[in-house]
Amino acid sequence: MTAKEGRRWEASRAVVVTPSGPGCPPRPSSCLKSPAENPSSRSRLPWQQRAWTEDRPDPHERQSNELNLRCCEQITSDEKVNEPRWDRTARAPLSSGHAQGSRGAHAQLSSTTDSSRVQSAAGAGASHSSSSSSSGSGALRTKSCGDSLFSHSLPHQQHRRISRSSSALEPASSPPTTRSSSSLSQSAVPSTSSERTHSAYPAEKSQQRADAACLLRAMRLFLLAALLSCSCARAGCEPKIVNIGAVLSQKRYEQVFKDAVAQANQVYGRDKFKLTAISVTHKPNAIQMALSVCEDLISSQVYAILVSHPPQSNDHLTPTPVSYTAGFYRIPVVGLTTRMSIYSDKSIHLSFLRTVPPYSHQAHVWFDLMREFNWNHIILIVSDDHEGRAAQKRLETLLEERETKNKKRNYENPDQLSFDNKRGPKAEKVLQFSSETNLTALLLEAKELEARVIILSASEEDAAAVYKAARFLNMTGSGYVWLVGEREMSGKALSEAPDGLIGLQLINGKNESAHINDAVAVVAQSIQELFEKENITEPPRGCVGNTNIWKTGPLFKRVLMSSKYPEGLTGRVEFNDDGDRKYAHYGILNYQKSRLIQVGIYNGTQVVMNNQRKIIWPGGETEKPQGFQMSTRLKIVTIHQEPFVYVKPTQLDGTCKEEMTPNGVLIKKVICTGPNETIPGRPTVPQCCYGFCIDLLIKLAMTMNFTYEVHLVADGKFGTQERVNNSNKKEWNGMMGELLGGLADMIVAPLTINNERAQYIEFSKPFKYQGLTILVKKEIPRSTLDSFMQPFQSTLWLLVGLSVHVVAVMLYLLDRFSPFGRFKVNSEEEEEDALTLSSAMWFSWGVLLNSGIGEGAPRSFSARILGMVWAGFAMIIVASYTANLAAFLVLDRPEERITGINDPRLRNPSDKFIYATVKQSSVDIYFRRQVELSTMYRHMEKHNYESAAEAIQAVRDNKLHAFIWDSAVLEFEASQKCDLVTTGELFFRSGFGIGMRKDSPWKQNVSLAILSSHENGFMEDLDKTWVRYQECDSRSNAPATLTFENMAGVFMLVAGGIAAGIFLIFIEIAYKRHKDARRKQMQLAFAAVNVWRKNLQQFPPTDITGQLNLSDPSVSTVV
């Protein structure tokens, strides 16, 4: 018997039957009415449904199965459509018994999808026999019903197989078939009280015997069909055999593996699956190991393979062929003691998981140890191999994640300063070495750094060599800290390790038995979850000629990676995205006098120190080292920004010229190197630097006991991020770039504290609080020639002039028509001259201008009343004019300035009003970040200047209307240059701080020194000396005086009067000459007339001679 036939035989040995009802034969459970009545159809798993599909039946079996299925379907349809027929002898419905039995058989057959072909054959046979027995005539009446049905329904081989199966169910001493069938039929059909008695004729009796025989054979056929269908169901009810493979390091672990599998079967197997352990041991080389995996494990259709690390600690080749071979077919591989980081690379090891973490996972413990002991300066020394690079990458990732959390600190309120003592460390230097590296030179480079905490990641041999070189350079003594992992303190490395070394040891890391139990439990738990899913395929069988991957393998791997097993012998078992163990526990060991003493543990989430006092540090110290050695020589970077930093050239001898402050204090100057802006090419030359920040630097150096060298920033910028070569990568420029690039240790300059910069550097306590303000040019009022007329408007001047002349005319008229103005009051007195129009005009102007009035005063009472009123009017006008003239000429009229950042001229920019700031400065960043100021930023971006000095000069030259910058700088410029003025309220309040790197050991001391300087008044003194000094104060506080420009119009008025007088005198002279000439002509005429008259008197006229007769009255009248 073949294996396939044996499985069919075992499956066909059990037939479950259920009662079908009174008078009916028992129906098999494989033909229940519906899937709802068949519990096995609901609980059967997909892999159980496919169990029979792999055993492909021959054509005769398929034909029998189809007949069986048709039989069940026909019986079911007969039950629903046909009326029941009664046996004449037993008087019971014949069709109901086998109809109910066939109905249950049909339901049970249909519940198992993958075995439907076998069931359908049996159903077809049953259907055919049912139709034959229900006809009541035909084949059953002409020939033997049972023989005809049986011989025509099943092939010859299937007939023999079923006959053997049915005979096996009957007892050996059973009576003949007919007799036993009759008795079974009679016992199965009870009599009822309503039976009718019929006459028993011989023909009828023979017909009844024939019907009973046919019925008996039909019932036997139904039972055989149920037997065949239930054999299929029997195969699905048995637990699924699931093979688990293992590659173990030694033979003694095979029994541990089998015991773990047996225990998993009790917990997880139950009735669904049964785990089977298949194990092999390590082979000498990779080829043999791969062949063993194929022949011994994959050929057995294993669902997963457990693999341990070989006994040799440095040999990692054995897990590799297992991972490669199983990974090709996507069969999950669970490593037990493999620690190499290469197995975390899922592009190489596709299906590899492990219950231990890689060596690079120790970076988490190092990181937490640094935070526990508050060490912020480390030197990372790693070997130039995969393990070293993995440890470096893991540690740098942790540092970046911690730094990202620290970026959430709020710097908008500079008054609040906090120090995060739990901030993670930062590697001051990463040193890689290979077998060809000079370790002495490498460690000398590390010795020159400030950090004294050294983390080492290397193999045993490399670690031993590093320890020897460090001992030679005296780098294992007091002040140093050495943090290492497991490899660096085992074997040969431990013999060379210095005292005080802090190392790690994975708890249960080499306990292969515990890892076998945990791995088996995780796999069993995952298989249980896997079988609850659909479309589960079988693992591949063997490697020869098989290149198809296991389709369910990736799904099974995901289930394994997402599984959690908290009750493991090695602790909580859980995997990360790389398939490595999470929440591993480490012991923290201290190397003391050639012994390893446990001083703490790492519980998977944090470090817990048992007793720090037990730790012996390098050099025999019992106190925790600081972890760094502060350098006393600092590189300071600054920028030219008055009044905080003045830059002047040195003298010919290279020294700085001594100068005094306005308060009479000697200015402290330092030599600073930097580009000379006055020389083409901007060469770096020594220069003299002094100012607010230089005095502060000198004070800090004296307080904290360090020396310094100062240099000016090369590009002259404060610092902002800019794209590199139009890429997405950004780098800092200016002072920020030099600090982050290691060219400077500290920024001492008016550097504004903002969030963007605080994410990358550490700021001290602000030494100067300020904000942003606007600088504009002061509008100095210019005096014109008509400035003396400014007190009155032109309309008022016109009315005053008109009033003068109107009053003069009125005085003349009143005095002219008054009876007391034209006549002499007292005849004895000399008569006064009457008031002429010119006299009235002179009187009116004289009263208005407060000049003396000589002659020509009004004589009448009415005219004098008008003159008094006019005098009062003139007094008021003159007094008002004098007061307003002083206000206009002495005091400046306030001009319309910018009100602040919300001024319409700023919010609605135009080309007529230009304002700007400095490129790539904190102010530029502020406007770029604020969405509501985007319109202003677009306008400013086109006009921004390279430096504040250039922008201030542009304002003075009227090239720039407004300059937005730090209030401290602009207020100083306005105090020094009287043509400038700041306007508007402060906005974007911030402060100036000293910038340092995040890992700088000076940051806390610098802030404390600045706070102390604020308290003792030193900062106030610096502010008075450099910022608040006002050169324009003396001018503004002096009494206001009038200048020639203010009174130029008056002088021009006098000059105009003189010119008018000269012009009038010439007119008068010409008029006088003309008048004199006319008078002379008249005199000559009168003289000629007189002569002629005399001549006429001497010679009187005659009538005869025609001479003139003077005695004639007409003649004398003419003469």
Residue type, 450: E
DSSP 802-871: HHHHHHHHHHHHHHHHSHHHHS-S-TTSPPPPP--HHHHHHHHHHHHTT----S----SHHHHHHHHHHH
Give the 3-state secondary structure of residue 601.
strand
Q: Which CATH number fits domain 359-509+586-620: 1.10.490.10, 3.20.20.240, 3.40.50.2300, 3.40.50.620?
A: 3.40.50.2300
- What residues does each domain of the chain span? 3-169+179-185+207-236, 240-328+512-569, 359-509+586-620, 633-770, 1047-1119
Bridging pattern class, strands 571-574 and 564-568: antiparallel
Residue type, 859: R
C-alpha Rg value of the chain to the nearest Å: 61
Q: Look at residue 1000 in the predicted model and tell me its pLDDT.
A: 82
- Which runs of consecutive H residues, i.e. helices, occur in 599-720? 692-704
Q: Look at residue 257 in the predicted model and tell me its pLDDT.
A: 94
Positions in the chain short of pLDDT 70: 1-206, 225-237, 269-270, 311-317, 402-425, 677-682, 780-788, 820-834, 852-856, 888-896, 1030-1054, 1057, 1061, 1100-1119
Distance set, CA 264 to CA 256, 531, 571 (Å): 12, 15, 17
Binding residues for L-glutamate: 750, 752, 757, 922, 966
Containing 797, the helix (H) or strand (E) segment is helix 794-817
Token pair 């009051």 is found at 825
> Which tokens is 623 given?
């106190």
Q: Which CATH number fits domain 633-770: 3.40.190.10, 2.40.50.100, 3.30.1390.20, 3.40.50.2300?
A: 3.40.190.10
Return d(Cα 27, Cα 379) in angstroms, integer. 82
**Residues 245, 249, 254, 259, CA torsion sign:** negative
Q: Look at residue 120 in the predicted model and tell me its pLDDT.
A: 36
Cβ within 8 Å of residue 846, ≥6 positions away: 852, 853
Q: Look at residue 562 in the predicted model and tell me its pLDDT.
A: 93
Return d(Cα 279, Cα 249) in angstroms, integer. 10
Q: Decide: 595 and 627 in contact? Cβ < 8 Å.
A: no
Cβ within 8 Å of residue 452, ≥6 positions away: 377, 479, 480, 481, 625, 626, 627, 628, 629
Angle at 1113 between CA 1107 and CA 1114, to 5 degrees: 70
Q: Look at residue 405 in the predicted model and tell me its pLDDT.
A: 61
861-890 and 837-848 helices, crossing angle to 10°:
40
Q: Decide: 984 and 972 in contact? Cβ < 8 Å.
A: no
3-class secondary structure per residue, 451-466? ECEEEEECCHHHHHHH
Task: Tell me whether residue 178 is exposed, middle or buried, using C-beta atoms within 10 angstroms of its C-beta: 0 to 12, 13 to 18, 19 or more.
Answer: middle
Q: Look at residue 146 in the predicted model and tell me its pLDDT.
A: 38
Tell me whether the CATH fold assigned to 240-328+512-569 matches the one assigned to 359-509+586-620. yes
Domain covering 240-328+512-569: architecture = 3-Layer(aba) Sandwich (3.40)
Binding residues: 750, 752, 757, 922, 966
Q: Decide: 691 and 730 in contact? Cβ < 8 Å.
A: no
Q: Model confidence over 1049-1065: pLDDT tens digits? A: 656 666 776 777 678 77
